[in-house]
Every structure is written in structure tokens, then in C-alpha cells.
Structure 1
Amino acid sequence: MKHLVKSAVVLVAAVSVAVGVFTVQTVSAESSWKPEKPINLVVPWGAGGATDGVSRQTAMVLEGHLGQKIVIVNQPGASGSVGTKNVLDKPKQGLYWTAGAVKDLGVYKVQGLLDTTLDDWHLFLNFAIPNVVAVNADTPYKDFGELLAAFKANPGKIKVATAGVNSAGHTAIEMIKSYTDIDYKHVSYEGGNPAVIATVAGECEVVPQLAKEEVVMLKAGKLRALAVLADAPLSIEGYDQEIPSVKQWIPDFVTAPIYFGIFVPKGVPDEAVATLTEIWNKSLVNDEGLKKFAAQNAMIFDPAAGDVAMKKAFPMVQLDAWLKFDSGDAVVDPSTIGIPRP
């Protein structure tokens, strides 16, 4: 894989198990769009994973601003494309949204999973979350170097649990493979939380999912973190070691922030987009509850909407799209759908 432009993710997060306390402030100009029916927020991944968790917490805050219930609907399948297609096909009234990692939404067409691109969506970002390579605590691997050596000594035998092709975890292990030429046995689950639980149970040895999905089991001593896919180490309150950067073993490793958010299909009423944009820029950005939630779960709280959101999230879309193309997992050349190679 040709290495891409560096975009550092520096996360030094204070983590605890408690759920954040949320505050809702009133924004006077938000009255331009008040949905008359509950909004359906389709989470295209299983319950308990990172997308599910950050979507539920963000929805709690948005309900107060919109004066309407937001119903979370988990609809996993085909690496998130099933639930996303469901929203894309609904009437454009502003009552159906989806959520997830922008990099997933951006590469569905590259993989032939769904005929959509980022140009079809309004992006509303909430958090950026890093991947952490962790292992079952009973495995012998004490650091990432030992794990790499084991991969090379046992090609195709060490089981790696992820939330499926196109998930953050699968992208992470494929990125590592592109730099090291390791081989592994991929075991796919319907979400990041099931992948973590499977690793804790001993079904797999390794899980490279998102930090938020691993925090509880790391603190409980059921998982051991070996490396964070970021430019700097990651510190987690309640976990007794600083997680070193993958660059300690792969100095030229390039990564970018994995941004999550809520996605609204284009074609909805302009006043709906304007209202959400105002909420994001004037209220959500200052929400103390969401800030606390981020700190508790090894995440960066970095809300953004519109062009700013696209600029923040696009580097990881490029990285993932070209990773898949260079490894032969793409059916569409990214450059033909507006994703240039950096």
C-alpha cells in the first residue's frame, strides 16, 4: 500500500465506566424546524458497539433541542450497508437518519456494498475514536512486537475478531498487514461489542476494535492492550499502563482520525439541515455531558457539520478506500468517485 499523508490522532483520555451526565441548553433560533413525529435513527451495527453507544448519547442531547423523541433502531448487516440503505430509501422528510464512521459511509461504493457516496449525505460529526490492538489476557503476548512475531511464525492461524469487513477493526488489522506482510485468520462478528466479548471468551486471541468498545474489559483485566493506532500513546484512567503507539514498532505507520457522527440523506427539507447545523455549531459543541462522555470512553469530542465535517473526516476515507483498492478488496476505483489518492 502506498503510504498516505499523516494526520495525527493524539488521545490522552480519562476513562471511567460511569455514564455521562447530559446538559441541554436552549437555542432560540432552533424553532425553524420542529419535527412533528419521532425521528428514527438507524444504527447499522449491533447494540453495545461504538456506533450504538455514541449515537444513543448524542440522541439524548438532540431530543431536548428538537422537542421530539429519537428512536434508536439497530439494523446491522453487510458491514453497515443494510441499515444505511434503509435510510437512503426512505422519504426525504428528515425523519430518518443513520449513523456510524464516516470512513464506512465513504467506501461502501468502493466495495460494491451500496451505491452511495459522501455527496449523498449531510455529515454531523460527534466523536473521533482510535483503534486499540488488544489480546485476551491469558495469551502470552506482552507487547505488540511479540504479537507481530507470532503472526509471522504462524501465518493464517491466529484468530482476529472484528465487527466485519469495512469495520474499524478490520481496517486496522488490514493496515497493519499492509506494513508488515503478516497473515491472520479473520473472524467476523455483528458488531464491535460481540467481537470484544468473543476475544474475552477465548474464541479469538486478538481484537483491534475501537478503544470505546474495549475500555470496560481492559479495566477489568480481561483484555491486554498492546498498541494504539495513533501517533501518540494513549492513557486511560483505571488502566494500569500507557498504551504505546503502533509507531514504536512500525515507525512509518500512517493513520488518520476515525470520525463518527449522524448522517442525514440529502433531499430533506432545508430547514431541517439548517436547524441541525445550528444545534451542532452553537449548542452541541459546548455540551458538558458529551465532553464528559468522551473523556470516560477514550474518545475525542470534536463536533462539526457541513464542509468542516467533511474536511476533518475525509483523510480516513481516503486511507481506507485506497487500502482496500491496493489490497484487491475494491470493485470500484476510488478516484472515479471523488476519492483521490493523496
Structure 2
Amino acid sequence: MTFIKKSLTAMAAVAAMGSGQAIAEWEPSNTINVIIPWGAGGSTDQVTRAVIPILEEALNNNVVPVNQPGASGATGTRGVLDGDPNGYTWTANAIANNATYAVTGLIEDTSIDDWHIYISVAHAPVVSVPSNSEFEDFGQLLEAFQERGDSISVATAGITSSGGTAIASVADAGGFDYNMITYDGGNPAITAAARGEAMVTTQLAAEQAEMIRGDRLRPLAVLSEEPLEMEGAGTIPSITEWLPDMEITPDYFGIMIPKGVPDEVISTMDRIWEDYVMTSDSLREYAQSQGAVFDPSFGEEARSRAMPTVIHEACAYVQRGEAEIDPIDIGIDCDTRSEVR
């Protein structure tokens, strides 16, 4: 037994003594697969691969990332939901995606409460254009959107992807139309924009970082309340400089384990997340280099952090006419913009 496993077993014993209820320590005997329902190189793929070595060390077990893109992340996610909840198949995504797939009709009868949530970072979308673009700042692009509408193309990973929901939110706030071109992941979308196949991309900073540092994309604005400092790329101004009333909520990413797995899987993962992921220097360095916010959490705390974005996105689908069901069916009241539990 490794030192880490001995430490975890000791913590389990202490927890059991304190609670009066013993929960066995989980020692996985098979490979754990983490389904990444997007293509390689995107934000979900990047941060999941940054977290996996931490989990492998703590569990003394193989944890394998498996890319299964399709249907804006719904294909791989559905497979995990429909699979055997034995603890060996997890998924990774933006939390708001898994929480709102039912609203868009991509996955029926699912909600945030189908998952145990482990947040690693918060990502922010960036509005960028090719380095040779006519647009020098977001103000110029906003004016062009308002005048030229859907003649301006925007590359994203799909309508429910972070880039897709970002441009929809910007368009709502700015009062314009646009032409979305979708790709099987954030990396293909930003590559297409850098090549000039699209005039704009609104994918996440983490996906765009290398293209921005390599002067292939010009960042115009970040969808956050504060400017974004990106290593090697300087300061990206907040979109609120031009759209001060735009509603902005953090877009949290992480690993999700389906409900119904054995209790010892979750009790072990909770301890690992608290003691190893939440204190990880390597994950913090990843966040700093990729323009993300290091903000790990798990359990009810993670759920409460994610819910403002879940509510915002679910109700935005209704406002844009993209909802297949009323969010009240998954416990979200869009009249009050609050959760009904």
C-alpha cells in the first residue's frame, strides 16, 4: 500500500470515528475512464488532462481520458449516464452543460442532481479575431455586428458549448444577429478562426491561449467582470467596458461522477479533491498560464458555485427560443431567475 493510500485510509478511520458510521476506503482495481465529450485540445480536454495525474497519484491507479465528441458534448455524456454506475466511468465538462442538456433536448430527463460534482477551474470566453482582422478593438466589432449582423461568422464548438453560449449572450446584450459556424470542439473552432475560415471566435481563453501568444488571434474582450491577465499576452479588457449591463457568471469546469456509484467511491474522491486537487501547484500553474481561475471545490459547495451559471444559461435558452422544455422541469424558475428545490 502506498503512503498516499495509507494516509487516506487513516483519514477514513478518523472520519468514521467522528461520524459513528464507517465507510470503506475505495481502492480501485480497474482502470478508471474519464469520458471527455469534446475533441482533443479544447478547454475540457486540457483541464481534465491537468487533473488526471493528480488523481492517478492519489489513487495509485490508472485514470484514462477518453475523447468522445458529438452533439455539443451530449453523446459522451449520455453514454456515462446510461452506463453501469460501478465507479469506473466518469465524465468531464462545463458543469452548466451537464445541468442544462435536458433544456435543449440533447439529453432527456437529466439535471445537475444526476452528478457528484468536482470543480477544478473557472474558464472565461474571449472574443477574438484573426490577427489580420479589420477589427482592432471590441467596440469596432460590436458596431460591425450591429450594422452587418449575420454576415459576420463566428466559430464555436456548438450552441451549448461555452463559445456558443458566449456569443449568444453577447448578441443578446448588444442587440445583433450573427452567423455561427460549429466545429467538433473548441480547438478546431479557434484553429478555423485563426485560418480566417470565420471572422470571430468566442471560445474559452484556455483554448485560445497559444494562438493568442503566437499572434494568430487578436483578443478583443473577455467575458468576465475584470480584465484578464494572460501570461505572454498582456491584459485583455473586460467586455463590460462596452456592454456594462451584460450579465456575466463564472463558467466552472470539472469532473462529474454519476449518482448511484458506491458510497466509498465518493467519500474517497471527496478526500482526494480536498487534500490533493485543491492544494495542487500544478493545477494552479495550469490555470495561471491558460487564463483560467484556480477555484477547486466539490459536493454542495461546487453545486452552489455552479448554479448561477446553470440558471443563467437555462433561462437564456428560453429567451432565445432554443429550449425544448421549460427549465421548471429541472427545478429552475425563469420568472424569478432562481432554483426551486
TM-score normalised per structure 2: 0.91
Unaligned segments of structure 1, at least 5 residues:
1-23
What's the % identity of the aligned pairs? 42
Q: Secondary structure at the match of 1:26?
A: helix
Question: 1:27, 1:283 within 8 Å by CA — same for their partners in 2?
Answer: no
2:308 counterpart residue number: 315
Render the CA deviation track for 1:158-189: whole Å, top value 9, x for unaligned. Answer: 11000111000010100011112211111000
Larger Rg: 2
1:201-212 maps to which residues of 2 (within 5 A)?
201-212=195-206
1:129 counterpart residue number: 123
State yes or no: 1:286 paired with 2:286. no
Measured on the aligned residues, the alpha-carbon RMSD in Å equals 1.3
Offset of 1:29 from its aligned partner?
Answer: 4.7
2:167 counterpart residue number: 173
- The verdict on how the C-alpha distance between 1:156 and 1:50 changes in structure 2, with shifts beyond 3 A counting, is same
2:148 counterpart residue number: 154
Question: 2:5, 2:59 within 8 Å by CA — same for their partners in 1?
Answer: no
Match of 2:95 among 95, 98, 102: 102
Q: Secondary structure at the match of 1:35?
A: coil
2:39 counterpart residue number: 46
Question: 2:231, 2:288 within 8 Å by CA — same for their partners in 1?
Answer: no
Moved over 4 A (4+): none
Q: Greater RCO between the two (CA within 8 Å, min separation 6)?
A: 1
Quote the Cα distance in structure 2 between the aligned partners of 1:29 and 1:95.
22
Unaligned segments of structure 2, at least 5 residues:
10-24
Render the CA deviation track for 1:46-68: whole Å, top value 9, x for unaligned. Answer: 00100001111111110011111
1:33 counterpart residue number: 26
AA at the equivalent of 1:293: Y
Quote the Cα distance in structure 2 between the aligned partners of 1:102 and 1:190.
19
Q: Secondary structure at the match of 2:171?
A: helix
Question: 2:121, 2:287 within 8 Å by CA — same for their partners in 1?
Answer: yes
Offset of 1:192 from its aligned partner?
Answer: 0.4
Render the CA deviation track for 1:176-214: whole Å, top value 9, x for unaligned. Answer: 111122111110000000000000111001000000000
Quote the Cα distance in structure 2 between the aligned partners of 1:330 and 1:148.
26
2:69 counterpart residue number: 76
Offset of 1:288 from its aligned partner?
Answer: 1.1
AA at the equivalent of 2:311: Q
AA at the equivalent of 1:140: E
Quote the Cα distance in structure 2 between the aligned partners of 1:136 and 1:317.
31
Quote the Cα distance in structure 1 between the aligned partners of 2:49 and 2:104.
28
1:296 counterpart residue number: 289
Offset of 1:284 from its aligned partner?
Answer: 1.4
State yes or no: 1:193 paired with 2:160. no
1:47-62 maps to which residues of 2 (within 5 A)?
47-62=40-55
Q: Secondary structure at the match of 1:154?
A: helix
Question: 1:50, 1:212 within 8 Å by CA — same for their partners in 2?
Answer: yes
Offset of 1:27 from its aligned partner?
Answer: 6.1
AA at the equivalent of 1:244: P
Question: 1:27, 1:279 within 8 Å by CA — same for their partners in 2?
Answer: no
